[in-house]
Each structure stands twice: as structure tokens, then as C-alpha cells.
């Protein structure tokens, strides 16, 4: 009986000791679980942060690429727009030049008729009433023709007394003049015309050589003749 009581006491002490150790073991397990949860949460946050950084980095790279593509497309658009504008201006200029060429060709073929009208006006001197009436009719036609030329932008050159300009004039004759200095136009042999500021037909003119040119030329010719005579005399004496 005494032994059984002693065994019961030992069992109770073991149970009490186990009960005393149980809360400590439970607390330790909970701490480990919490610690594991914190580590897992920290790792998750680190992974999320890294993914976010990668996403931001990729977005920045993509944005930079898009900006470069936008700049390239913008430059292409500006270049194409400039090329088209230049093409449009060139086409307009070519059309204007072609129009002027066609008009110039047509008007140039009409100018000889104008020349004939002017020659007839200078030569005709009506004396009778019938001739005067005919002359007035002719003058009316001539004025109409001149008016049409003006409407087309044709303007006559005024050349007498002007300095000779090969871009505007064509020198047919040159002669000495006491009145005009050298390279001034003495006479208009055929009238020249402008078309919208450009030369439609060059003026045929007579140009001054200036005073004293004739005498100088005669002296040169005289000296040449005298030299020829002296040369012939020397040849005769040698023979």
C-alpha cells in the first residue's frame, strides 16, 4: 500500500512538471511561427520591391525608346513636309516659266508686225482727205495692237543716249561721235522689248566710238600705208 501511494505521488509530480514545461514549449513554437511569417513577409516584400524596380526600369527604357521613335518620325515628317513644299514651289515656278516661254514665243512672232506698223507710220505722209482717213484707221489698229501688248506685260525699251549693255542691246554698227561719248547708243535700228522685267527681244543699236576715234583710225591707216611704201622702196634699192 505504501509503495502504491509513493508511485501515485511520483506520477502526480511528473504530471505537474509536464504541465509546467508545456506553456514554455507552446510559446517557443508560436515564436518560431511568427518569426517564419515575418521572414516570409520580408522576402515577399523584397521580391515585390525588386519586381517593381524591374518594371520601372523596363518602363523607363520603353519610354526612352518611344521618345527616340517619336523624334525620328518627327524629323521624317519635317523633312517630307519641307521636300513637298520645295516641290510645290518648284512646280509653281516651272509652270510660271513655261507660261512665260509660251507667251514670249507668241509675242515674239507678233513683234515683226509691230515693226512694220511703225515703219509704215514713219513713211506714210497723207496729203488728201482720203489718205488721211486711211491713215487714221491705220493708227487706230496700231494703238489697239500696242494696247494688247501692254496688257500682256510687254514694254518697249528706250535706248538712245543710254550706255550699251550686251544683256539688253545688240550692237550692229559703231561710229565716231562728237556728241556722244564712247559706248553710248546713237541710234535704235530695231526696237527692243521687255516682258515682265525680262528681255523679250534685244534692241539692235548703233553705238558711239567717241570723239577722235575716226582721226585716230585714219592716222593708223596712214602710218600703215607709209610703212608699206618704205618697205617697197627698200626692196627696190636692194635689187
Q: Is this model's pTM higher than 0.85 or not?
A: no
Q: What's the pLDDT score for residue 228?
A: 54
**Is the pLDDT score of 172 beyond 80?**
yes
Write the pLDDT tens digit of every residue in 115-154: 888 888 777 777 777 778 877 888 888 889 889 889 988 9
Q: What's the pLDDT score for residue 204?
A: 94
Q: Spelled out in words, what is the top-level CATH class assigned to the domain 156-233?
A: mainly beta
* Range scoring the smallest mean pLDDT among 37-41, 42-46, 106-110, 160-164: 37-41
Q: What's the pLDDT score for residue 192?
A: 93
Percent share of the chain, pLDDT over 90: 20
**Is the pLDDT score of 179 beyond 90?**
no
For the chain, what is the mean pLDDT?
77
**Is the pLDDT score of 218 beyond 50?**
no
Residue of 135, 32, 17 whose CA lies nearest to 9: 17
**Is the pLDDT score of 202 beyond 90?**
yes
Percent share of the chain, pLDDT over 70: 69
Sequence-distant (≥ 6) Cβ neighbours of residue 169 within 8 angstroms = 159, 185, 192, 202, 203, 204, 205, 207
**Is the pLDDT score of 164 beyond 60?**
yes
Average pLDDT over every residue of 20-30: 53
Q: What's the pLDDT score for residue 185?
A: 92
Q: What's the pLDDT score for residue 44?
A: 73
Q: What's the pLDDT score for residue 101?
A: 84
Average pLDDT over every residue of 182-190: 91
Q: Is 19 or 61 the better-scoring residue by pLDDT? A: 61
**pLDDT level of residue 28 (50, 70, 90 thresholds):** low
Annotated domain spans of the chain: 93-152, 156-233
Average pLDDT over every residue of 72-101: 88
Amino acid at each position: 500500500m505504501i509503495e502504491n501511494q509513493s508511485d501515485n505521488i511520483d506520477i502526480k509530480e511528473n504530471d505537474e512538471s509536464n504541465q509546467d514545461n508545456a506553456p514554455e514549449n507552446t510559446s517557443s513554437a508560436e515564436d518560431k511561427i511568427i518569426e517564419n511569417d515575418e521572414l516570409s513577409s520580408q522576402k515577399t516584400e523584397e521580391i515585390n520591391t525588386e519586381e517593381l524596380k524591374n518594371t520601372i526600369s523596363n518602363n523607363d527604357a520603353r519610354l526612352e525608346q518611344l521618345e527616340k521613335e517619336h523624334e525620328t518620325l518627327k524629323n521624317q515628317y519635317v523633312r517630307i513636309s519641307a521636300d513637298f513644299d520645295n516641290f510645290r514651289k518648284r512646280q509653281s515656278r516651272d509652270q510660271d516659266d513655261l507660261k512665260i516661254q509660251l507667251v514670249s514665243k507668241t509675242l515674239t512672232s507678233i513683234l515683226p508686225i509691230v515693226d512694220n506698223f511703225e515703219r509704215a507710220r514713219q513713211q506714210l505722209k497723207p496729203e488728201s482727205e482720203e489718205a488721211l482717213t486711211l491713215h487714221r484707221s491705220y493708227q487706230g489698229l496700231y494703238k489697239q495692237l500696242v494696247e494688247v501688248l501692254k496688257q500682256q506685260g510687254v514694254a518697249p525699251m528706250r535706248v538712245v543716249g543710254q550706255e550699251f549693255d550686251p544683256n539688253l542691246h545688240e550692237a550692229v554698227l559703231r561710229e565716231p561721235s562728237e556728241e556722244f561719248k564712247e559706248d553710248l547708243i546713237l541710234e535704235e535700228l530695231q526696237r527692243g522689248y521687255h516682258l515682265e522685267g525680262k528681255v523679250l527681244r534685244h534692241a539692235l543699236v548703233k553705238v558711239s566710238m567717241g570723239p577722235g576715234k575716226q582721226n585716230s583710225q585714219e592716222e593708223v591707216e596712214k602710218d600703215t600705208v607709209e610703212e608699206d611704201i618704205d618697205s617697197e622702196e627698200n626692196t627696190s634699192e636692194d635689187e
